C-alpha cells in the first residue's frame, strides 16, 4: 500500500474546506448573475477540476448544462508542452452556446490556453475560463483565466482534486506537499 495517512505528507494547509467553500460560493454567485438567462454549457477538465467543478455547478442557481473533457499534455520534457491531446471529447456540440471552461489550476497556463483555442474554433457564442488556483508567478498575465479563485505561490499543492502521482485528490482542503514526498 502506497500511503497510510495522506495528512502526514502535508507541510501546511493553504486553503481550508471553509475557505474553499466560501470562495466557490462567491464565484458561483458571480456566474449566476452573469449567466442567468444564457443556459451555459459548463465544461469540466478532468480530472483535477472535478471537485471544484461539481461544487461550483451546485452554487450556480440557474439552468446550465454539464459536460466533461479529458486531456493529456505531452512533449519531450517533464513540463506541460501545451499541446493537448483529447482523451475524451465533449459529448455536446458547443457551437452557438455560452461556454464556461472550469480548470483546477493554472501552472504554465499552456493547457488552458490550448483548450481555449480549441474550443473557440468550434464557434461558441462566448467562452469564459474559470480556475480555482493560479500560480501567477509561473506564467504571463495574459494567460490568466477570466475568473480566478485564489492566486497562489509556486508550491506543490494537492487536495480538492489536485494530485501527486494520482494520490491526494480526495483531501478536502488544499495543502502544500512536503518536499521529501516528491524529491
Ligand atoms: C494539471 C491541471 C491542469 C494542468 C495545468 O492537469 O489539472 O489541467 O495540469 O498545467 P499547465 O498550466 O502547466 O498546463 P494534469 O495533466 O496533471 O491532469 P489531471 O487534471 O488529471 O491531474
How many whole angstroms from 155 Cα to the centroid of ligand 1? 14
Compute how many other C-beta atoms are within 10 angstroms of the C-beta atom of residue 123.
12
Pocket of ligand 1 contains residue 106 by CB under 6 Å: yes
Task: Specify the ligand 1 atom closest to the Cα of 107.
Answer: 12
pLDDT for 96-125, tens place per residue? Answer: 999 999 999 999 888 999 999 999 999 999
List the single range of 44-53, 82-91, 155-164, 171-180 with lowest mean pLDDT: 82-91
Contacts of residue 13, defined as CB under 8 A and 6 or more positions apart, other chains included, come to 173, 174, 175
Averaged pLDDT, 14-32: 98
How far apart are alpha carbons 99 and 114 in whole angstroms? 15
Q: What local confidence, expressed as pLDDT, does residue 1 receive?
A: 46
pTM of this prediction? 0.93
Residue 159 has pLDDT above 50, yes or no: yes
Q: What local confidence, expressed as pLDDT, does residue 76 receive?
A: 47
> Shortest CA distance to 163 belongs to which of 1, 3, 22?
3
Write down the residue that cell numbers 481550508 correspond to.
16
pLDDT for 166-181, tens place per residue? Answer: 999 999 999 999 999 9
Pocket of ligand 1 contains residue 47 by CB under 6 Å: yes
Strands 174-177 and 10-15: antiparallel
Cβ pair 84, 113 in contact under 8 A: no
Q: Who wins on pLDDT, 73 or 87? A: 87
Point out which residues pair with 74 in neighbouring strands: 83
Which of 107, 113, 154, 157 best tests ligand 1's pocket when mutated (most atoms within 8 Å of CB)? 107
Cβ pair 17, 41 in contact under 8 A: no
Q: What is the mean pLDDT of the chain?
A: 92
Compute how many other C-beta atoms are within 10 angstroms of the C-beta atom of residue 135.
18
Amino acid at each position: 500500500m502506497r500511503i497510510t495517512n495522506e495528512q502526514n505528507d502535508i507541510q501546511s494547509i493553504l486553503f481550508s474546506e471553509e475557505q474553499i467553500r466560501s470562495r466557490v460560493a462567491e464565484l458561483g454567485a458571480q456566474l449566476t448573475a452573469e449567466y442567468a438567462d444564457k443556459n451555459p454549457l459548463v465544461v469540466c477538465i478532468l480530472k483535477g477540476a472535478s471537485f471544484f467543478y461539481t461544487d461550483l455547478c451546485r452554487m450556480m442557481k440557474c439552468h446550465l448544462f454539464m459536460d466533461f473533457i479529458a486531456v493529456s499534455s505531452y512533449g519531450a520534457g517533464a513540463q506541460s508542452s501545451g499541446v493537448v491531446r483529447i482523451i475524451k471529447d465533449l459529448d455536446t456540440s458547443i457551437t452557438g452556446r455560452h461556454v464556461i471552461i472550469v480548470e483546477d489550476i493554472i501552472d504554465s497556463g499552456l493547457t488552458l490556453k490550448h483548450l481555449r483555442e480549441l474550443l473557440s474554433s468550434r464557434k461558441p457564442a462566448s467562452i469564459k475560463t474559470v480556475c480555482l488556483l493560479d500560480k501567477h508567478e509561473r506564467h504571463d498575465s495574459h494567460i490568466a483565466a477570466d475568473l480566478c479563485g485564489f492566486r497562489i505561490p509556486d508550491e506543490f499543492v494537492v487536495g480538492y482534486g489536485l494530485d501527486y502521482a494520482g494520490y491526494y485528490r480526495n483531501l478536502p482542503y488544499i495543502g502544500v506537499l512536503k518536499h521529501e514526498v516528491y524529491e
